[in-house]
Amino acid sequence: MKFDFLSESDQAYFIHKASTLVEALPYIRQHSGKNIVIKYGGHAMGNAKLSKNFSKDIGLLKEVGINPVVVHGGGPQIDKMLKDKNIKANFLEGLRVTNKKTIEIVEKVLSKDINKKIVNDINLSGGKAEGFAGNQENLIEAKKLEIPVKSLDSNIEKILDLGFVGTPTNININLIKKSIDCGNIPVISPLGIDKFGNTYNINADTVAGYIAGSLKASKLLLLTDVAGILDEKKNLISFLNFDDAKKIINEKYVLGGMRPKISTCIDAISKGVKQATILDGRISHALILELFTEHGIGTQIYS
């Protein structure tokens, strides 16, 4: 059967579009009604077109009955602000060393600039986003992060001092659930507060994983600026089971920001999240490709 009013190539184009929608249907059914936590990386949000598409994708997920919860990073934006103020950025074990002056800048960039922009972008695309600063309303309770390290020449263990870098100890999950129940899309900055009122910078992957675990989310999606976990030959590792993910973390080719990502996935899965994916936020509509097509992208870590 042919449509006289369309050229052959237009017909093929529209039929392809229709079959893409039909292909999405079982995936929409599978994810509808579920909570999916998405870490939106500072690198992935650097490009205007990509961030517009991200907002549209988040809106679309909500429209089809999925409950997206967004946790954002802001590394490159924080680096830029620190550079403007002549403060040197330092990293240890993929985490930012954060002194008093730095935490003030981190808080401003994350909660005032980036959080507001993401909320605004989602709202402009027709969604209903609600912004949360992790260190407000006791949303993310935290304590100072202590990483034990052994020096190369002796077996003596010492604690790395990263300053105001925290690790979550509790999430006020009711605040997030209430937001979801009101039909909103929570957008959360990765800051925490301790019982003395100190604010901590927390790796956004860690926060996303912790929230996914507390919410018993069906999926954790970590958008980043690489295709996924790459092996020593720089080839993408598409699938990892839980045990292999635990092993890979100590490999020499897993460095910097990839380490907290993988340990976050492991923690989330051990708390009941079914699947965690590290995927390329530089690809347009990465979320839609991952969730609604049979191609799936990135590295899937599953229980």
> Which of 59, 68, 213, 257 is in the footprint of ligand ADP by CB under 6 A?
257
Does 93 bind ligand ADP (CB under 6 A)? Our answer is: no
> Which of 61, 258, 287, 297 is in the footprint of ligand ADP by CB under 6 A?
258
Please name which of 292, 297, 258 lies closest in space to residue 280, comparing C-alpha atoms: 297
Query: Minimum distance between the CB of residue 261 and ligand ADP, rounded to whole angstroms?
Result: 6
How far are the Cα atoms of 44, 147, 169, 247, 258 from residue 263, in angstroms, in the given order?
Answer: 20, 13, 16, 10, 9
Is the distance from CB of 299 to CB of 244 less than 8 angstroms? no
Contact string (CB under 5 A) for Mg ion, positions 205-244, x = contact = ----------------------------------------
Does 91 bind ligand ADP (CB under 6 A)? Our answer is: no
Q: Which is nearer to Mg ion, 68 or 257 (CB)?
A: 257
> Which of 36, 81, 82, 226 is in the footprint of ligand ADP by CB under 6 A?
226
| Residues between 108 and 147 that touch ligand ADP (CB under 6 A) | none
Which stretches within the chain are classed as H helix? 8-31, 48-63, 75-84, 100-107, 115-124, 173-181, 204-215, 242-248, 258-270, 286-292
Which of Mg ion, ligand ADP, none has residue 140 at its interface (CB below 5 to 8 Å by kind)? none
DSSP annotation of 112 reads I
> Which of 101, 253, 270, 303 is in the footprint of ligand ADP by CB under 6 A?
253
Phi-psi region of 223 (alpha: psi -120 to 50; beta: other; left: phi over 0): beta
How far are the Cα atoms of 184, 199, 231 from residue 105, in angstroms, in the given order?
Answer: 28, 12, 35
Which of Mg ion, ligand ADP, none has residue 62 at its interface (CB below 5 to 8 Å by kind)? none
How many residues touch Mg ion (CB under 5 A)? 1
Is the distance from CB of 222 to CB of 279 less than 8 angstroms? yes
Q: Which is nearer to Mg ion, 213 or 257 (CB)?
A: 257
Does 224 bind ligand ADP (CB under 6 A)? Our answer is: yes
CA 29, CA 21: separation in Å to the nearest integer?
13
Q: Which is nearer to Mg ion, 73 or 163 (CB)?
A: 73
Contact string (CB under 6 A) for ligand ADP, positions 174-213, x = contact = -------------------------------x--------
Q: Which is nearer to ligand ADP, 80 or 216 (CB)?
A: 80
Residue 36 token pair: 């999916």
Helix, coil or strand: residue 95: strand
Cα 74-207-52 angle, rounded to 5 deg: 45
DSSP annotation of 271 reads T
Choose the binding region for ligand ADP from 49-57, 79-87, 100-108, 220-228 (rule: CB under 6 A): 220-228
> Which of 68, 74, 166, 257 is in the footprint of Mg ion by CB under 5 A?
257
Choose the binding region for Mg ion from 54-62, 119-127, 256-264, 275-283 (rule: CB under 5 A): 256-264
Is the distance from CB of 238 to CB of 300 less than 8 angstroms? yes
The residues that touch ligand ADP, with contacts defined as CB under 6 A, are 41-43, 73, 75, 205, 224-226, 229-230, 253-258
The residues that touch Mg ion, with contacts defined as CB under 5 A, are 257
